[in-house]
Chains A and B, each alone.
Chain A
Amino acid sequence: MNAPERSSAFLLDEDSGEQKCVYTADTKVTNAGTFRLNKEDHTVGNLFRMQLLRDPNVRFAGYYCPHPLVHFINLKIQTNNSTVAPVEVLGSAIEDLANETDHLITQFQESIETWKRENDTEMTSQF
């Protein structure tokens, strides 16, 4: 049988030296390059793209998943000027998103606690 491993969709193939993230600078456009994110999909692809587009230093940000049977995405970034590299804007985009997620975690914890206190229901699970 030539079926691929079930885990090939989400575990890095470390035996053949697969890296999580590979950067290739663009040969024709300045301040631009492509990140290949292995074992990632639209979940982070679109999240990063939208966050990058909020950055005034970013001129272009886009991603694509080349085929449903391959498990990586390509994220292309071009910045406005040579003082900020694509690696830097991506780094700060991820940092912003991580902080936003932290904020969301506390927001959720607080509102779930408040709701349960106010609604004082038997939140006991039956099984």
Chain B
Amino acid sequence: MPNQRFPKVQILHIAPHEIKFILSETDVSVANTLRRIMIAEVPTMAIDLVEFHANTTVLNDEYIAHRLGLIPIRYQPPESMKGEDCNGAFLPHRECVCYERCPRCSVEFELDVSFDEVNPLRAEEELMAPLTVSSQDLKTNNESVIPAHFLSQDEQDEAQDAGVAIVKMGPGQKLKLKAIARMGTAREHAKWSPVAVATYRFWPVITINEEQVATLTMEQKQELVDICPDRILEIDDLTGSIKAVENAWELSTYTEDIKFHQDSLKKRKEDDDFVRIEHSADKFIFTVESTGVMDADEIVMSSLRVLKDRLNHLAQEVENLKDM
């Protein structure tokens, strides 16, 4: 156990669909492993099998089946207020003992929409206009598992449709199908990925060489401050030197304007830099956005549990090698 690290976590912001945090005192390899697991190895539900009973819409069966697969399917237990990790509540269908499928490994959705039946119920001005079949029309057999129609209230308020659009219908057209959702990971197909975005940025380390900066005139310092399009520097009113602005870590995009401009300010070209902006090797700013399948903080927690299980499994396998 001699080489264990004790990383720190600082939360910047949490919303149901987004989490931002700072991970520090660890290595890029850990940050990247977390990112990769959130993208491809957190189990979620997605529609995987579709039985068509009637389809007279303009889109063919395969096209609709593909669109159904991409609809985020949310697991929200009855008493829960948030989208939760479905790992444990369901089994991957390949590991289930049932013959074909059962409630432990799958959820069934029914969809039955016919233009001619729905049209008379619509408002006067909408009569005969194309009808959008959306994720709202999918009727589940398990109330905890429903399509994530929208990501947020704002998105719902702005939307034209009732949910995720599947196909548009005209007079005389009909769509009737049964869709089966299963648990899986994005290693099999990207439709199982719980994240829209999972990225990290390196924390910027801004070092100011006070001795060098003291050799500059006030105008030259101002030049250096103004050359940076990210506005990460400012003149320190007290000392008359240069300092990084307080939220420089948020602003910095590592543009090289300062680096190139400061060379022209140097008396000799071998002189030390006035300002250096470097990537931190042990501090990362994460952004994770959910597709709606579960809350963003649940995705992070789930990814850690997946990593823990994986490491335990591999530790056991390596332990078995020692006995051989």
Seen from chain A, the residues whose Cβ lies within 8 Å of a Cβ on chain B are 6-7, 9-11, 19-21, 23, 35, 37, 42-44, 46-47, 49-51, 54-55, 87-88, 90-105, 107-109, 111-112, 114-116, 119, 123-127
**Cα A40 to Cα B13 with chains together (Å):** 33
Digit string of B1-38 for contact with A (CB within 8 Å is 1, else 0)?
11111111111001010000100001111101100110
Secondary structure dominating the interface of A = helix
State the B residues within 8 Å of A (CB).
Answer: 1-11, 14, 16, 21, 26-30, 32-33, 36-37, 40-41, 74, 76, 81-83, 94, 146, 148-150, 152-153, 156, 185, 187-189, 292, 295, 297, 300-301, 304-305, 307-308, 310-315, 317-322, 324
CB distance from A20 to the nearest CB of B (A): 5
Closest Cβ–Cβ distance, residue A89 to chain B (whole Å): 10
Task: Provide the bound-state CA to CA distance between A37 and B27, in Å.
Answer: 22
Contact B297 A112 (CB under 8 A): yes
Residues of chain B within 8 A of A49, CB atoms compared: 29
**Contact call B322/A87, Cβ cutoff below 8 A:** yes
In the complex, which residues of chain A have a beta carbon less than 8 angstroms from the beta carbon of B4? 96, 99-100, 103
Q: Is the CB of A123 within 8 A of B82?
A: yes
Q: Are A115 and B315 in touch, CB under 8 angstroms?
A: no
What are the residues of chain A within 8 A of B5 when measuring CB–CB? 96, 100
Please tell me if the beta carbons of A108 and B304 are within 8 angstroms of each other in the complex.
Answer: yes
Query: Is A20 in contact with B314, judged by CB distance below 8 angstroms?
Result: yes
Chain B's interface: helix, strand, loop or mixed, by majority? mixed
Q: Which residues of B contact A115 (CB under 8 A)?
A: 11, 14
Using CB atoms, name the residue of chain A closest to B310. A44
Contact A111 B10, beta carbon cutoff 8 Å: yes
Give the 5 A-B residue pairs with the shortest CB-CB distance, closest first.
A50-B29, A115-B11, A21-B317, A98-B311, A107-B9
Interface pair A43/B41, CB less than 8 Å apart: yes
Query: Can you list 20 A-B contacts with CB-CB less than 8 angstroms, sorted by A residue number?
Result: A21-B317, A21-B320, A21-B321, A42-B36, A43-B37, A44-B310, A47-B29, A50-B29, A55-B3, A94-B311, A94-B314, A94-B315, A94-B318, A96-B1, A105-B304, A115-B14, A123-B16, A125-B82, A126-B156, A127-B148
**A49-B32 Cα distance, complex, nearest whole Å:** 13
Residues on the A chain within 8 Å of B94, using CB: 7, 11
Q: Chain B's nearest CB lies how many Å from the CB of A1?
A: 16
Q: Which of B26, B28, B76 contacts A125 (CB 8 A)?
A: B76
